[in-house]
Amino acid sequence: MMKPRRAVFLAFFLCFVLSLPAMALAEEAEQDANVAKRKTAAEKAAAKISKTAQERAAPELGEVTFEHVLARPDDVRLNFEFAKRQVAQNGMLGAAATLERILILNPSLDPVRMFYAVVLFRLDNLTEAARELAALSRRDLPAPIRAEVKRYQKEIEKRKRRTHLSLRESLGWGFDSNRNAVPSSKERLFGNTRLPVSANDRARRDTHFLNITTVDIAQDLPSQAGHQLLGSFTYFLQEQALQNALSLSSYSYELGGIYKTPWFNVTPLFTASHVTLSHETFLRTQGGSVLVDRDFFNGRLNVFNLNKLEHQDYVDITENLAAHERKGNQYDLKQGMTIGLLPSMSLTAALGYTHKRAKLDFNAYDRITLEADHVWIWPKEQFLINGMTVGFDEYDEPDLAIADRERHDRSFRYSITYGAPLGTLLLPLKKILPGQIKDITATFTYEYYRAFSNITNYTYHNNKLQVLFTKRWEF
């Protein structure tokens, strides 16, 4: 009876582990859609200003350098071209100074003042940005610039609120080629003996319905530094079409805050979750994490360190009476950095370490992970995310019911996600689409997972396809 128990438990546990990245990826994709909206605003404004300037004047100036500006400090167009270059290189402070100099020379350049307001907004200097927008609103503006003024005034009103509440809802569909994680060899070890996988236990394809509901709240504290209190609740559901025993759901909570200093930011969080498999309580966790991060080079480089400790309380369920053997604490450490390669492109690289304790030592392990994520923002709020993770697991003791040797696992995961608002995907229908539908973000994900082990039971692969539609509301 031991072997079927462990096989079922392994399938359940891998189901849980492999489903978590789906939730994280969905949240990350939706967040990147919002990042795309914010980060392209300055570039759009720059394009409008550039077009106005080119209609009024001169031939191309080529690449403008600071030396050119020093040689001709009163040349408005030269200074403007230099400001655009500074924005493209994420040098917002320098761009703000350049644009301010232009407006001193010629205060009537409304497109330049609009661009200056956008740069101040990106610098989070909301008071000065609001002042520039108010000055623009009193002037006779072209329709596109007036629309931009109103939009940014609304954004500033939102940011000035002390309490920020948002709701994010994602609905979708997914497919797995090997949902029950059957070994590639079609054999399993039991008592050091290789046995063929029965016909009823062969790899099963399956589809699932996916729902992710997240509520976030942030409370600004009365401090110039920008300290905040944070809270979050997430409901996750992955309901299988055929293999009901592998259906997964979870409720997770976070409560903490951000403390900002001149040297680094500290984000402590208390976390808890309740996970069900096959509609039965399978896992409860309680723990906490501390994230320390710091920006360098005007935000183009962020270095971070994350420490997390949680207690995992596994509960036996009908199909698996050995879940309690995995009870114990888990410690996670992750160190890495995010580099802004371009204003529209970033790369995150991280090194992780996990130390898992368990009631029985053959379920305890140490894991090292190498992670890399590439985010590329395209025009019209589109984005592309590539992610890769390599893992190395070393278990403490052999599971003698399976084999008399310690388990060593290697894993590889690659995913690619394309996302865009429906207003972009359905461009021919954009004018007739309701406003509440245009900003729904659609994401399309492919993921390949491959696990290698010195014990054939744990060597398998899986292909995953997933489509999500995400809507975000802010209150």
Number of domains in the chain: 2
- Reading the block at residue 460, the tokens are 């398998």
Under DSSP, is residue 200 helix (H, G, I), strand (E, B) or coil?
Answer: helix
Domain span holding position 401: 162-474
Q: Which of 160, 175, 207 is the last residue of a domain?
A: 160
d(CA 324, CA 308): 22
* Paired residues of 289 in beta bridges: 269, 308
Least Cα distance to 115 among 94, 127, 142, 133 occurs for 133
Answer whether 418's CB lies under 8 Å from 384's CB: yes
pLDDT tens, per residue, the chain with 475 residues: 334 444 434 444 444 443 444 444 445 444 544 544 544 444 454 444 444 444 443 334 456 666 666 667 667 777 778 888 887 777 788 888 888 888 888 888 888 888 888 888 888 788 888 888 888 888 888 888 888 888 888 888 877 788 889 999 999 999 999 999 999 999 999 988 999 988 777 889 999 999 999 999 999 898 878 899 999 999 999 999 999 999 999 999 999 999 999 999 999 999 999 999 999 999 999 999 999 999 998 788 999 999 999 999 999 999 888 999 999 999 999 999 999 998 889 999 999 999 999 999 999 999 999 999 999 999 888 999 999 999 999 999 999 999 999 999 999 999 999 999 998 888 777 677 777 888 899 999 999 999 999 999 999 999 999 999 999 998 8
Asked whether residue 314 falls in the same domain as residue 238, the answer is yes
Residues 121 and 256 in one domain: no
Asked if residue 261 is part of any domain, the answer here is: yes
Query: In what helix (H) or strand (E) does residue 441 lie, and over which residues does it extend?
Result: strand 441-453
Question: Could you tell me the sign of the dihedral formed by the alpha carbons of 275, 278, 281, 284, in that order?
Answer: negative
Q: What is the pTM of this model?
A: 0.77
Residue 110 falls inside a structural domain: yes
Q: Which two tokens stand for residue 93?
A: 């402070």
- From 176, 177, 132, 180, select the one nearest 156 (Cα to Cα): 132
Query: What are the Cα distances from residue 112, in Å, to 38, 58, 76, 94?
Result: 19, 17, 10, 15
User: Which residues touch 342 (CB under 8 Å, ≥6 apart)?
Assistant: none
Q: In terms of domains, do 140 and 193 share one?
A: no
Q: How far lies 22's CA from each of 164, 205, 274, 457, in Å? A: 26, 17, 17, 24
User: Would residue 305 count as lying in a domain?
Assistant: yes
The verdict on residue 313 lying in a domain is yes
| Token pair of 337 as six digits | 């950095």
Same domain? For 278 and 215 the reply is yes
Give bridge partners of residue 130 from the DSSP assignment: none
CATH number at residue 107: 1.25.40.10
